[in-house]
Structure 1
Amino acid sequence: MGGMQALATGFVVAIVGFFSSFPIFLAGVEAMGASPMQASSALMAGALAMGIAGIALAFWQKIPASCAWSTPGAALLAVSAPDPAGFSGAVGAFIVAGALAVIAGFWKPLVRLAQAVPAPITQGMLAGVLLPICFAPFRAVGDAPMVAVPILLTWFVVSRVWRLFAVPAAVLVTLILVVWHNGALPLPETVLTAPVWITPSFSVAGVIGLAVPLFIVTMATQNIPGASVLRSNGYQPPTGPFFAAVGAISILSAPFGAIATNLAAITAAMCADENAHSDPAKRYWAAVWAGLFYCLFGIFAAVVTFVAAAAPPLAMASLAGVALFAVFMNSAAGALSEPDTRESAALTFVITASGLTVFGIGGAVWGLLAGTIVHGLTHRVSR
């Protein structure tokens, strides 16, 4: 079964993948109106979805195809206006986004349409989404220094030594703060997570304001880079069927609250590395083990959400901010790196970060639209 090397890599991948991003996952579903029980169910469904998807794809093609929930998508939700129908409207948008991924898997023009938006503009939208979240830990220094400072210091110091474990180390410090704040470690009555069915509702505003930007940001910043990472390591993933597979499991897990599932890039690179196994043909076992650990974490998601709810004020917001700082740094650099698209990407970034909401549609959509129009007009004038 791949040996101890693959098992150890899979465990590290699961620790990094789950504990580096669950704070923003919870922030995303809670911003959409999820109740505590629905948030627990969503976290469980998200972990099970990425675990099962990773196991299935790895076994199917015998390649280290690690999967993840859409962290950029969760960040998008965290700063977006909730659907008028509440969390059921968000679930409807999750299903539509998954359906678009399935269609993209079988109909290449949709992938090309997602790629038609210049990458710097997409990165500008992502950076604009992340900026308000990354403000949180630094604002918290003034309001709750005893909470924010230990989280920030731990994240910064550990990142100097081992960047991958900077956020999990900050999670550990946050757990210590929870114990300090409550006098003991709070635990729910049952440690097993109960699935909660959320009947989806659909609307034009939900499709335009949530589903389409969720599909674009997930496809452009997760699925396509994830496939590229596998190719750069010598594997040949069937991208169309892979996109359709993660889209299908996104549809199945959405009624339990889960945000989109996608191909992973960072954890796929860890599974494809020589440290996962000396034989490239057996490195897929690292992705299989990672998937199994994801499923295990999902079963006990109720504990994670209960402890997070018991955290001192601003602790989870601070944790989410440091968890996304590296993603913000990379997306901001990608947005402004090319002179030809710098103006349109900067406009996208500013409009998205402004929090603009018109007709119930958030700044991410307006920023993406404005940036694309300005880019098109600029290039037409140049020609």
Structure 2
Amino acid sequence: MLSHLKLSHLAAGAIAVLVGYTSSVAIIFQAIEAVGATQAQANSWLVALGLGMGLTSLMLSLWFRMPVLTAWSTPGAALLAVGLKDVALDQAVGAFLFCGLLLTLTGLTGWFERLARLIPDSLANALLAGILFNFGLSAFTALNEDTALLAVMGVTFLAGRLWFARYTILAVLLVGGIWAGAAGSFGDFTQLNTSLTLPQAVSPAFSLPVLIGVGLPLYIVTMCSQNMPGTVTLRAAGYTPPVSATLTVTGFATLILAPFGGFAFNFAAITAAICAGPEADDDPKTRYLASAAAGVLYCLVGLGGATVISLFLIAPPALIAGVAGLALLATIGNSLSQALHQETGREAALITFMTAVSGVSFFGIGAAFWALVFGLLVNHLFSRSTPKPSAAAKAP
């Protein structure tokens, strides 16, 4: 296995971790604040989340030999930031355990995997392109924020695609980091928190209103807004994702780590696209090493706790936006090409893509779910209305 490990695997894994934390760690802090956790308990959340993502990603990637990357539930964290106000921490932990139980049962029964197989490949690719679109766009909108930095990163990206394609994104990250450092764009390094982070368990308490009002919505949001797009990401990259096994593993991890702050784990989508795309490796059979590398780095980040998180937070946003956007360009282009290359079903694919890009949300459920619903409805409508060739027309 190690003989196949490449620098591009390490680079893709590092970028996935960087993007994963910097894109949503602020939402985690809001959820922690909403439940009134102490600083020690807040640090414990970061340890549990880092180790949960790292160990599940590492185990699933090595087990199935495909780039299965897991993540915390970002929409779930956003829901918790609102739903945990006036909820005691022990009751919140009870809701986390309830969500973990539902995730585990979903994996063991296998119903979600059967449902995922019903999604046409064109819609899967359109959904993935829509989910990633704004991240790709961020590399260009960030030009207004720091024109020089993004211009240097853009030139490096083009040069890399021409002369050293496998290491393009690594070069973009290094050149961008050096430029940002020389320009003084990083935050105040004196704000680094170097305290030792230790996990701290909280005994659960079970309240029926909290289980129904927090635990059940957390499960629904995680399934619709994370696990479905994550499944689609791997399918669009050419893999057959181990859906039931991943849900079982991430659900079990949630059950174990919930008392420490691991509120919900699931398939990753955006960061998984970084590890499953051609930038990680030209050979799809060894791209799993990129997600395995990300798993190891997630564990290290989790153990580093507050120190590493504070380091991420002082990085200039334009640097993160540029790296993430440029790393996902190839995946966005490939997904759009696969979604629209056949005229049949093109309308459904376009509606799926546009809905995902729109960011629309109904009943607290995000655009990824509704993009699939609208796309499947249109696909079904057009497939029923398309006239089938008659026997006479088929005859030579």
TM-score, structure 2 length as denominator? Answer: 0.68
- The aligned residue for residue 232 of structure 1 is none
* Counterpart among 127, 139, 142 of residue 140 in structure 1: 142
Quote how far apart the aligned CAs of 1:375 are.
0.9
SS of match in other structure, 2:13: helix
Match of 2:228 in 1: 216
Q: Are 2:120 and 1:118 aligned?
A: yes
Counterpart selection for 1:53 from 56, 76, 82: 56
Q: Is the 8 A contact 2:129 2:332 kept in 1?
A: yes
Q: 1:272 to 1:109 in 2, by over 3 A?
A: farther
Q: Distance in 2 between matches of 1:18 and 1:93?
A: 32
Aligned-partner SS, 1:339? coil
Change (3 A) 1:208 1:164: farther
Write the mapping of 1:1-383 to structure 2, written as runs, cut at 5 A. 5=3, 9=5, 13-31=9-27, 33=30, 45=48, 47-53=50-56, 56=59, 64=65, 67-70=68-71, 77=75, 82-83=78-79, 85-86=81-82, 102-103=104-105, 105-176=107-178, 177-178=180-181, 180-182=184-186, 188-190=192-194, 193=197, 202=214, 206-222=218-234, 228=240, 240-241=244-245, 243-249=247-253, 252-253=256-257, 255-256=261-262, 259-261=265-267, 266=275, 291-292=295-296, 294-300=298-304, 302-382=306-386
Q: 1:184 to 1:356 in 2, by over 3 A?
A: closer
1:354 positional shift? 1.8
Tell me how far apart the structure 1 counterparts of residues 288 and 219 of structure 2 sit (CA, whole Å): 36
Contact 2:54 2:298 in 1 (8 A): yes
**C-alpha offsets along residues 228-278 of structure 1, whole Å, 9 cap, x if unaligned?**
49xxxxxxxx875455224433554563366525697856998997998xx
Is the CA contact 2:360–2:367 (under 8 Å) kept in the aligned structure 1?
A: yes
The aligned length equals: 358
For residues 227 and 358 of structure 2, the distance between their equivalents in structure 1, rounded to whole angstroms, comes to: 21
CA deviation profile, 1:274-300 (whole Å, cap 9, x unmatched)? 998xxxxxx999997875455334423
CA–CA distance in structure 1, aligned partners of residues 317 and 294 of structure 2: 32
Q: Which amino acid aligns with 1:151?
A: M
Aligned mates of 2:338, 2:95 — CA distance in 1: 28
Which AA in structure 1 matches 2:337?
A: A
Q: Sequence identity, in percent?
A: 26
Which 10-residue stretch deviates more, 28-37 or 264-273?
Answer: 264-273
Are residues 296 and 308 of structure 1, via their aligned partners in 2, closer, same or farther at CA, if it must alter by over 3 Å? Answer: closer
Residue segments in structure 2 that go unaligned for 5+ positions in a row: 34-38, 86-91, 205-209, 388-396
Partner Cα distance (1:366, 1:69) in 2 = 22
Q: CA deviation at 1:326?
A: 2.7
Bigger CA radius of gyration: 2
8 Å CA contact 1:21, 1:320 repeated in 2: no
Q: Deviations over 1:162-218 (max 9, x none)?
A: 444333333334433146225985662317555588999726665555532312112
Q: Match for 2:56: what amino acid?
A: A
One-letter amino acid matched to 1:68: L
Displacement of 1:372: 1.1
Take 2:69 and 2:228, find their aligned partners in 1: how far apart are those partners? 16
Unpaired runs of 5+ residues, structure 1, are 230-237, 277-282
Q: State the AA in 1 paired with 2:132.
A: L
Deviation at 1:220, TM superposition (A): 2.6
1:43 and 1:168 map into 2 onto residues whose CA distance is: 26
State the distance in 2 between where 1:220 and 1:45 align: 26
**1:260 aligned counterpart, secondary structure:** strand
8 Å CA contact 1:101–1:243 kept in 2: the answer is yes
1:55 to partner: Cα distance? 5.0
Residue 391 of structure 2 aligns with which residue?
none
Cα distance in 1 between the residues matched to 2:322 and 2:198 = 28
- 1:318-347 deviation per Cα after TM superposition (whole angstroms, max 9, x unaligned): 333223323322322232233222111101
1: CA distance, partners of 2:349 / 2:99: 24
Where 1:202 maps in the other structure, the secondary structure is: helix
CA drift at 1:111:
0.9
- CA 1:344–1:244 in structure 2 vs 1: closer, same or farther (change >3 Å)? same
SS of equivalent residue, structure 2 residue 79 = coil
- Return 136-145 or 265-274, whichever deviates more: 265-274
8 Å Cα contact 1:128/1:353 also seen in 2: yes
Q: Could you say which residue in structure 1 is the equivalent of 2:390?
A: none
State whether residues 47 and 303 of structure 2, in contact with CA within 8 Å, keep that contact through their aligned partners in structure 1: yes
- Note the C-alpha offset of 1:70: 4.8
Partner AA of 1:23 in structure 2 = V
What is residue 392 of structure 2 aligned with on the other side?
Answer: none
SS in 2 for 1:373: helix
Aligned to 1:233: none
Q: Which moved more, 1:135-144 or 1:367-376?
A: 135-144
What TM-score do the two structures reach when normalised by structure 1? Answer: 0.70
TM-aligned CA deviation for residue 381 of structure 1: 1.8
